[in-house]
Structure 1
């Protein structure tokens, strides 16, 4: 999801720079909504798990896309086995194909056990932009917010807030504590401590973002501890409504996750907690500085980062990159957010 989200500012800048360009974005159905409200951008939902599986599935997808339009250029912004098959079919039919530079070898040397090379790598958004430049479409990317929200979406979020008697009288902090992999998740038992310390300093309300039964169960446990300060957003709003809510927050506490990217793209002040992954690999919060990143230094833990996207095990066995980050450290940094 994070990779797809980071394509949004690039596609939006492209069509804003070139008024005669129309873009078809082929993506999973659950990600199509990221592009639906951008002018001259048409999402094509492709269910690659069931409808378009394997070689024959890619052939069917290719046929449908070919019937849809005569493309001037095909951009492979994933460089995955599926997109390799798809772009090969377009090449056979004589269409120009440009593949973005994923930087696999550079990222590998960043995460290898010995002799790490940790010179900061280009951000993924910049890699996407460079691919379009290679295709003959140079442009610059402006300032956030990058996600397009309809007035109706904002109104729906406003109605949800009113329905739940949520009127902003105190600081609003969003919390998104979950990620796909264990090496990205700051110990969950720390969040109650953070919330308790912040509540002791000033009036604050916490909005909890996520999804899934386990996540909601954890959120409910926090709500029992802090019934007047906790609002569970998970499962209550659609994705774009959540984005409209994020824009009303004073800050967002998250880990290396899609919610971090979404908050950054909406221009929300944020603090992201990093463990086994590393922002300089190219996935840091876009257009955010060091004020948005909390991590144990590589001088203290030379094993960092141990992976590009995260994993379930720790080479040391103790996930020190996460456990050494204390609630006090997080609270101090959250108070600095502007």
Structure 2
């Protein structure tokens, strides 16, 4: 989900800077809402578990796509499935992303420790290869969404500043320990409204318990559609997230994002779009010198699973408060 969300600011820049282009995005049906605010972009939903499953399914998909007679195809994924699909597509202009796998391997093996090309820049280079130079330094974002009645009932009438917190990630090594996150939530909920994000039965149960323990805390996990969650995120003052999809969804909507990093590191190129470097809170590499242990956080040495816990709760709270203060300062100017 994060990879898909990271394409959004790049596609928005592409359509703003080249308004004559018409873009078709091939992605899963679930991700269609991500592209709702981008001009000249339509989505072609792919059913990888049904009619487009397997090699024959990809052949069938290619036959459907070939009817459009695309000028060029930009492969922003560069995996086996997209390589197979390429064989069936009728176009002379097919450019795939360079994911920098060699450089990332050097980074996670400890041989090199320096910032790599960001994923957003890698996406942009694909379009530059096709002849469309992109400037990502002056991004345009959609206005905050109007919340529907269902969402307003869920959030209540609290007019405090709103902080979103997404405490989960695909791998435990990327997560802030939940006992410490509860302390963060407790501190923030005294002055702000806290909105919790997550998914899946186990995560929802944990967040429900947190909601019951603190005032000014609302758990929306499992209660809204993706599009409705995006509406809520677009109205946040700041999002606190792990190195995970919610960080990228908030960033693509122009929301300030504070991220907590465990065994992964922003140097691998997956920092949220258009966020100041100091918004990334990093595990202590003096205690955990092998960080980043992997690109996706699925591999780490013994004792590294709770590396993010080396970031004190008060540091997280102070960072969020400083971000809100900065936003208020800009508003009053």
Tell me the CA shift for residue 3 of structure 1: 0.7
Poorly superposed stretches of 4+, deviation over 6 Å: none
What number of residue pairs does the alignment pair up?
Answer: 324
Q: Is the 8 A contact 2:243 2:260 kept in 1?
A: yes
Q: C-alpha distance in 1, partners of 2:139/2:41?
A: 19
Q: TM-score, normalised by structure 1?
A: 0.89
Give the Å deviation of 1:129.
0.6
Q: TM (normalized to structure 2)?
A: 0.90
1:109 and 2:95 aligned: no
- Aligned-partner SS, 2:241: strand
Aligned ranges 1:37-48 → 2 under 5 Å: 37-48=37-48
Relative distance call for 1:164 and 1:47 in structure 2 (3 A) is closer
Structure 2 unaligned segments of length 5 or more: list them. Answer: 327-333
Q: How does 1:221-232 map to 2 (within 5 A)?
A: 221-226=209-214, 228-232=215-219
Distance 2:46 2:151 in 1: 34
Distance (Å, rounded) in 2 between the aligned partners of 1:44 and 1:165: 33
| CA–CA separation in structure 2 for the residues paired with 1:127 and 1:267 | 20
**Inter-partner Cα distance in structure 2 for 1:265 and 1:145:** 10
Matched, 1:321 2:307: yes
Task: Look up the SS of the partner of 2:178 in the other structure.
Answer: coil
Does the 8 Å CA contact 1:98/1:134 hold for their aligned counterparts? yes
Shift of 1:224: 1.6
Change (3 A) 1:56 1:297: same
Q: Name the CA distance, whole Å, in 2 between partners of 1:264 and 1:208.
A: 17
CA distance 1:224–1:211, change in 2 (3 Å): same
Residue number in structure 1 paired with 2:4? 4
1:21 aligned partner: 21
- Secondary structure of the residue that 2:302 maps to in structure 1? coil
| Structure 2 counterparts to residues 173-212 of structure 1, below 5 A | 173-199=163-189, 202-212=190-200
Q: Secondary structure at the match of 2:199?
A: coil
Deviation at 1:318, TM superposition (A): 4.3
- Of the three residues 246, 250, 258, the one matched with 2:233 is 246
For 1:213-270, what per-residue CA distance to the aligned partner results, in whole angstroms no more than 9, with x for missing partners? Answer: 11110111111211x3111111222223222222322222110011011112222222
Deviation at 1:207, TM superposition (A): 0.4
The answer as to 2:92 corresponding to 1:134 is no
Give the alignment of 1:48-127 within 5 angstroms: 48-67=48-67, 69-90=68-89, 93-112=90-109, 115-127=110-122
Which residue of the partner structure matches residue 330 of structure 2?
none
Call closer, same or farther: CA 1:17–1:233 in 2, change over 3 Å: same
The answer to whether 1:275 aligns with 2:275 is: no
What is the CA–CA distance in structure 2 between the aligned matches of 1:27 and 1:2, rounded to whole Å?
13
My pick for the range that moved more, 269-278 or 137-146, is 137-146
Cα RMSD of the aligned pairs, angstroms, is 2.0
- Superposed, 1:154-169 pairs within 5 Å as 154-155=145-146, 157-164=147-154, 166-169=156-159
Distance in 2 between the 1:163 and 1:213 partners? 22
* Aligned partners of 2:72 and 2:91 also within 8 Å: no
Q: CA deviation at 1:165?
A: 6.5
CA contact (8 A) 2:72 2:92 kept: yes
Cα deviation for residue 290 of structure 1 reads 2.5
Aligned residues of 1:26 and 1:43 also touching (Cα < 8 A): yes
Q: Is the 8 A contact 1:62 1:89 kept in 2?
A: yes
